[in-house]
């Protein structure tokens, strides 16, 4: 019996975000259909992976994770090169040393680190601050200037600091990450505020603040789903690609951190931790996530194997 | 909500004079102004003072000027099939034919015409006997249009049923019937046809016209209205539609919702 494939008709599409400069550019977004439903509309770009690099040596990371970066965790340039070697699409530099409770590094120090990393690798750069709004504004302002013209993705902009970060992006030719805490209305409003400063819609990535598998993943998932349906039906204020900070959420869960001795019923930690990060990322790809910021190179590899399958055209 | 700007109509003095003098400026002005105020279509009506024999040429002229000015489709509004076809022949994009009734002879003219030009079409839920009194009779006539549209290969998304609203000072009892008809029309087919109405008719010769218009528009939206021919210069009306879009969960809320609604 012939099966009629029900096709949804969409009227609009997600904007296309370009990060980096030729020949090292990454393009995301541009979808004219829900994730991987190639038969309903064009899906021009696969979801990409940014591997995370810190500007200070992380504490409390499990050996499963640190072993992949042996000898480079205290050197952001070497760490970034390692990520490039692993084949990351982008490098995500987290300037956590700028946090007042960490080293409280100055904006100038952060800018110098960002510049050194940018010069050492041939990958587009995402640079984010420590999450302290006022400090991030100062840090990203300096970083944006130091990386002028490199078309990086800078963040994370929140209602408290979006003005400075947007201005930096405008002046120095970068794109912005607009962060909102699991709140679609706030996400939309923040995009509007940023666009009112004349930064184009195709220079914004939405960060909906995702949770890890088992830790509220479904909240972010449903927000991303609703925003995407809005985007495809003409809501231009939500039609931006979504960035998911997967690694930072996954690697603080007990499922990723507990050793097999601590939790024998959960089995081998390496397999479990990597699966946790992979599954969190693949779930968000299914909800429309375009950029996955991850930590473990093996999770990236497994995520990509899944994406390669999902990107096979399914035309009816 | 698909808003159709009502202003390019020979009923209005400035448009009537523009047509008489073949002065394109007022047409350009209203095309641009209604575009900026989020029109999805521009209604184009030659008005009653143009002779039937001149209507096709006037329609063609109006459509050309409107579409040269803004990138919007037109709602070709005439009781003269030749005028409608003249508009269709020069129209860019998907036009909206305004309108056929449920009379078979009219449907036999307009529905094949819509199919030929790939246009959408408004179907008035009335026939030569006039506007029905009840919701059920409106729905019955709507069903005849649905069946005929389908037979002509016109998809339901291109069919706009108008349940016909009457001025509330002469046909007050029609108000609730129109609302009920909207609900019933949405159940006639799956997917259902679209719905529309000439909103300003509800307040003809009434006091507080803007208040009546926007109140009935919001009530109708809740009953299943997809589109309306409206006065886009009415700011309170646009605000009310923006609010109704939020409350009906059609648009995603944000603090600037009245402003974002007006952005194209």
Tell me the pLDDT tens digit for each residue of A210-242. Answer: 999 999 999 999 999 999 999 999 999 999 999
At A67 the pLDDT is 97
Using a CB-CB distance cutoff of 8 angstroms, which residues of chain B are in contact with residue A226? 252
Q: Do A189 and B255 touch (CB under 8 A)?
A: yes
Q: Do A237 and B260 touch (CB under 8 A)?
A: yes
Q: Average of pLDDT values for B20-24?
A: 96
Cα Rg for chain B, rounded, in angstroms? 18
| Among A9, A185, A226, beta carbon nearest to B254 | A185
> Could you read off the pLDDT of A160-199 as tens digits, one per residue?
999 999 999 999 999 999 999 989 999 999 999 999 999 9
Q: Do B251 and A235 touch (CB under 8 A)?
A: yes
| Among B157, B253, B263, beta carbon nearest to A185 | B253
Q: Rounded distance, CA A135 to CA A30, Å?
A: 33
Contact B4, B43 (CB under 8 A): yes
B256 min Cα distance to partner chain A (Å) = 7
At A44 the pLDDT is 97
Length of chain A: 316
Contact B196, B226 (CB under 8 A): yes
- Reply yes or no on whether the pLDDT at A316 is more than 80: no
Category of A30 on φ-ψ map: left (φ > 0), alpha (ψ -120 to 50) or beta: left
Contact A204, A193 (CB under 8 A): no
Band of pLDDT at residue A2, cut at 50, 70 and 90: confident
How many domains, chain A? 1
Check whether the bond before B99 is cis (ω within 30° of 0).
yes
Taking CA A38 as the corner, what is the angle to CA A37 and CA A40, rounded to the nearest 5 degrees? 75
Q: Do B254 and A236 touch (CB under 8 A)?
A: no
Band of pLDDT at residue A270, cut at 50, 70 and 90: very high
What is the extent of the structural domain holding A142? 44-305
Contact A277, A213 (CB under 8 A): no
- Reply yes or no on whether the pLDDT at A257 is more than 90: yes
Taking CA A298 as the corner, what is the angle to CA A295 and CA A300, rounded to the nearest 5 degrees? 60
Question: Is residue A15 situated within a structural domain?
Answer: no
Chain B contact probe: residue of A192, A201, A222 with most B CBs at under 10 A: A192
Check whether the bond before A26 is cis (ω within 30° of 0).
no
> Could you read off the pLDDT of A19-40 as tens digits, one per residue?
999 999 999 999 999 999 999 9
**Nearest Cα residue in chain A from B264:** A236
B77 or A1: which leads in pLDDT: B77
Q: Do B254 and A188 touch (CB under 8 A)?
A: yes
At A305 the pLDDT is 98
A3-12, A48-57, B58-67: range with lowest mean pLDDT: A3-12
**Residue of A184, A182, A76, A191 whose CA lies nearest to A125:** A76
Other C-beta atoms closer than 10 Å to the C-beta of B25 total: 11
Contact B86, B117 (CB under 8 A): no
3 state DSSP class of A20: strand
Going by C-beta distance under 8 Å and a sequence separation of 6 or more, which residues neighbour residue B13? Answer: none
Question: Is residue A31 situated within a structural domain?
Answer: no
Q: Rounded distance, CA A29 to CA A238, Å?
A: 12
Q: Average of pLDDT values for A58-74?
A: 96
Using a CB-CB distance cutoff of 8 angstroms, which residues of chain A are in contact with residue B263? 236
Q: Average of pLDDT values for A44-66?
A: 97
Q: Which domains, and CATH codes, for chain B?
A: 2-262 (3.20.20.20)
Length of chain B: 264
At A6 the pLDDT is 84
A21 min Cα distance to partner chain B (Å) = 31
B61 min Cα distance to partner chain A (Å) = 30
Q: Rounded distance, CA A250 to CA A253, Å?
A: 6
Question: Is residue A144 situated within a structural domain?
Answer: yes
**Residues belonging to chain A with any Cβ–Cβ distance to chain B shorter than 8 Å:** 9, 184-186, 188-189, 192, 226-227, 230, 235-238
Using a CB-CB distance cutoff of 8 angstroms, which residues of chain A are in contact with residue B3? none
Using a CB-CB distance cutoff of 8 angstroms, which residues of chain B are in contact with residue A231? none
Q: Do B252 and A185 touch (CB under 8 A)?
A: yes
**Nearest Cα residue in chain A from B256:** A189
Per the prediction, chain A carries an average pLDDT of 96
- Reply yes or no on whether the pLDDT at A1 is more than 80: no
- Reply yes or no on whether the pLDDT at A3 is more than 90: no
Q: Do B263 and A236 touch (CB under 8 A)?
A: yes
Q: Rounded distance, CA A32 to CA A12, Å?
A: 6
Going by C-beta distance under 8 Å and a sequence separation of 6 or more, which residues neighbour residue B139? Answer: B125, B181, B184, B185, B188
- Reply yes or no on whether the pLDDT at A148 is more than 80: yes
Give me the total of CB pairs closer than 8 Å, taking one residue from chain A and one from chain B: 28
Question: Is residue A1 situated within a structural domain?
Answer: no
| Among B252, B255, B256, beta carbon nearest to A184 | B252
> Could you read off the pLDDT of B105-149 as tens digits, one per residue?
999 999 999 999 999 999 999 999 999 999 999 999 999 999 999
**Nearest Cα residue in chain A from B249:** A230
Chain B contact probe: residue of A190, A233, A237 with most B CBs at under 10 A: A237
At B52 the pLDDT is 92
> Could you read off the pLDDT of B212-243 as tens digits, one per residue?
999 999 999 999 999 999 999 999 999 999 99
**Nearest Cα residue in chain B from A227:** B252
A1-5, A117-121, A126-130, A231-235: range with lowest mean pLDDT: A1-5
B253 min Cα distance to partner chain A (Å) = 5
At B102 the pLDDT is 98
Contact A157, A165 (CB under 8 A): yes
Using a CB-CB distance cutoff of 8 angstroms, which residues of chain B are in contact with residue A238? 252
Question: Is residue A293 situated within a structural domain?
Answer: yes
At A24 the pLDDT is 95
The percentage of chain A sitting over the pLDDT mark of 70, rounded to a whole number, equals: 99
The sheet carrying B96-100 orders its strands as B194-195, B159-162, B120-124, B96-100, B74-77, B41-45, B2-9, B227-230
In order of A44, A169, A190, A206, the CA distances from A15 in angstroms are 11, 18, 16, 11
Tell the residue number behind the tokens 């200070």, with chain if given: A56
Using a CB-CB distance cutoff of 8 angstroms, which residues of chain B are in contact with residue A189? 254-256
**Inter-axis angle of helices A107-120 and A133-146, to 10 degrees?**
50
Band of pLDDT at residue B40, cut at 50, 70 and 90: very high
**Nearest Cα residue in chain A from B255:** A189
Question: Is residue A310 situated within a structural domain?
Answer: no
Taking CA B36 as the corner, what is the angle to CA B34 and CA B37, rounded to the nearest 5 degrees? 60
Q: Rounded distance, CA B85 to CA B70, Å?
A: 21
- What CATH number has the domain bearing residue A52? 3.20.20.20
What ipTM score was computed for the predicted complex, to two decimals? 0.81
What are B161's strand-pairing partners?
B123, B195
Q: Rounded distance, CA B58 to CA B22, Å?
A: 9
Q: Do B251 and A192 touch (CB under 8 A)?
A: no
> Could you read off the pLDDT of B147-173 as tens digits, one per residue?
999 999 999 999 999 999 999 999 999
């Amino acid at each position: 019996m012939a099966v009629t494939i029900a096709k949804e008709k969409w009227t609009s599409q997600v904007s296309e975000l370009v990060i980096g400069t030729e020949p090292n550019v990454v393009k995301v977004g541009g979808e004219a259909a829900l994730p991987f439903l190639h038969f309903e509309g064009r899906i021009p770009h696969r979801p990409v992976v940014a591997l995370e690099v810190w500007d200070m040596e992380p504490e409390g990371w499990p050996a499963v994770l640190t072993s992949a970066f042996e000898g480079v965790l205290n050197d952001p340039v070497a760490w970034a090169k390692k990520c490039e070697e692993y084949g990351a699409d982008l490098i995500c530099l987290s300037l956590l040393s700028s946090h007042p409770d960490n080293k409280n590094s100055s904006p100038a120090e952060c800018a110098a680190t960002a510049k050194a990393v940018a010069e050492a690798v041939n990958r587009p750069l995402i640079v984010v601050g420590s999450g302290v709004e006022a400090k991030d504004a100062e840090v990203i302002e300096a970083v944006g200037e130091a990386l002028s013209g490199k078309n990086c993705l800078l963040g994370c902009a929140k209602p408290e600091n979006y003005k400075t970060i947007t201005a930096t992006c405008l002046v120095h030719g970068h794109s912005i990450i607009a962060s909102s805490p699991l709140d679609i209305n706030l996400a939309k409003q923040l995009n509007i505020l940023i666009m009112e400063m004349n930064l184009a819609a195709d220079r914004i990535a939405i960060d909906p603040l995702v949770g890890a598998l088992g830790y509220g993943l479904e909240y972010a998932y449903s927000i991303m789903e609703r925003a995407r349906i809005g985007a495809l039906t003409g809501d231009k204020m939500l039609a931006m690609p979504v960035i998911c900070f997967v690694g930072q959420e996954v690697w603080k869960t007990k499922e990723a951190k507990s050793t097999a001795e601590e939790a024998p019923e959960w089995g081998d930690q390496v397999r479990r931790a990597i699966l946790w990060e992979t599954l969190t990322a693949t779930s968000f790809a299914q909800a429309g996530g375009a950029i996955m910021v991850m930590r473990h190179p093996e999770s990236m590899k497994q995520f990509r194997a899944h994406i390669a399958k999902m990107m096979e055209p399914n035309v009816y | 909500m698909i808003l159709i700007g009502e202003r390019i109509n020979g009923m209005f003095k400035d448009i009537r004079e523009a047509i008489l003098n073949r002065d394109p400026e007022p047409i350009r002005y209203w095309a641009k102004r209604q575009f900026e105020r989020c029109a999805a279509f521009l209604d184009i009506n030659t008005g009653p003072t143009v002779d039937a024999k001149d209507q096709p040429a006037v329609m063609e002229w109006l459509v050309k000027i409107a579409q040269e000015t803004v990138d919007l489709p037109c709602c070709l509004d005439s009781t003269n099939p030749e005028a409608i076809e003249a508009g269709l022949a020069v129209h860019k994009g998907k036009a909206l034919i305004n309108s056929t009734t449920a009379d078979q002879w009219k449907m036999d003219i307009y529905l094949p015409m819509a199919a030929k030009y790939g246009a959408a079409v408004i179907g008035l839920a009335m026939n030569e006997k006039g506007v029905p009194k009840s919701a059920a009779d409106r729905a019955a006539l709507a069903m005849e249009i649905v069946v005929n549209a389908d037979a002509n290969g016109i998809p339901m998304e291109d069919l706009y049923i108008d349940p016909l609203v009457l001025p509330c000072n002469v046909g007050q009892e029609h108000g609730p019937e129109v609302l009920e008809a909207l609900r019933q029309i949405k159940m006639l087919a799956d997917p259902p046809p679209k719905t529309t109405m000439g909103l300003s008719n509800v307040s003809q010769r009434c006091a507080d016209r803007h208040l009546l218009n926007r109140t009935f528009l919001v009530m109708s939206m809740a009953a299943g209205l997809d589109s309306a021919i409206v006065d886009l210069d009415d700011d309170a009306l646009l605000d009310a539609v923006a609010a109704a879009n939020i409350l009906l969960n059609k648009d995603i809320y944000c603090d600037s919702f009245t402003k974002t609604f007006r952005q194209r």
